Structure formats: C-alpha cells, structure tokens
Amino acid sequence: QVQLAESGGGWVQAGGSLTLSCAASGRTYSSYATGWFRQAPGKEREFVAAISWSSGDTQYAASAKGRFTIYRDGAENTVLLGMNSLKPEDTAVYYCASHLDPTGRLTPINAYDYDYWGQGTQVTVSS
C-alpha cells in the first residue's frame, strides 16, 4: 500500500511559479511511476505530467510542455512538479498518483492506469 500526500499548492498571480510536492509513504517509491493530474471545477480530471521510476523518462500534456517540469527527489521519496508561467486556466486541484511498473520505464497518461492517489492540493492562478 502506498500513501501519497500533495503539498505546495496556493494562490499565485498569472506569470508566477509554484512547486508541488508528492510525498510517498507506506512503501518505497521505487517501482512506481508517478503522474500529476488536475481537475478544474466542472471539468474532467486531466493528465498533466508523468515520470517513470527507473529510466527517468517523462511525459507532458501539451498544456504543460515547456512550462512544467516533473522530477524526483529520490532521497526524500518525493516527486515534484515545478510550474512556471502560470495562467488562470491552470487553476485546479492537482493530484499525484502512482502506478506499479516492474519495467521502470512507463509514463502512463490515463487516470485509470494509476493505483494510488493523493487527496489533492488547490492551485489558484489569478489574472
């Protein structure tokens, strides 16, 4: 069993930056790909970014590419999402999720591929 806890959300003006953190507990974070998703009011949950646990491969949604960076802090068993040049349309609850992956190379983009989810952290970007 893996427990995930997001932190780092908040309020920021358009053009600003935030870094979200996803801390894992319960089991070692190795063997798990990690993804970030977001859900805005009245909208479906959408993929933002993912990172494999071994190869370091990453994948981004078109809306995140060039502005967001997903990376691991192995020493802290944490996956971070650095977000720059934030826009009002980035406003959402951001969730991290983990997917058990024996290959170590996957970066799933579909929510149904993920086994564990955090509770989410709110990001609000004002214009």
Instruction: Tell me the CA end-to-end span of the chain in Å, nearest whole number.
Output: 40
Res 29: pLDDT: 55
Res 2: pLDDT: 86
Greater confidence (26 vs 68) lies with 68
CB-CB neighbours of 22 under 10 Å: 27
Instruction: Tell me what the pLDDT averaged over the chain comes to.
Output: 93
Residues 63-120: tens digit of each pLDDT: 999 999 999 987 668 999 999 999 999 999 999 999 998 888 899 999 999 999 999 9
Cβ distance 65 to 123 under 8 Å? no
Residues 47-60: tens digit of each pLDDT: 999 999 888 899 99
Listed range (1-5, 40-44, 96-100) with the worst mean pLDDT: 1-5
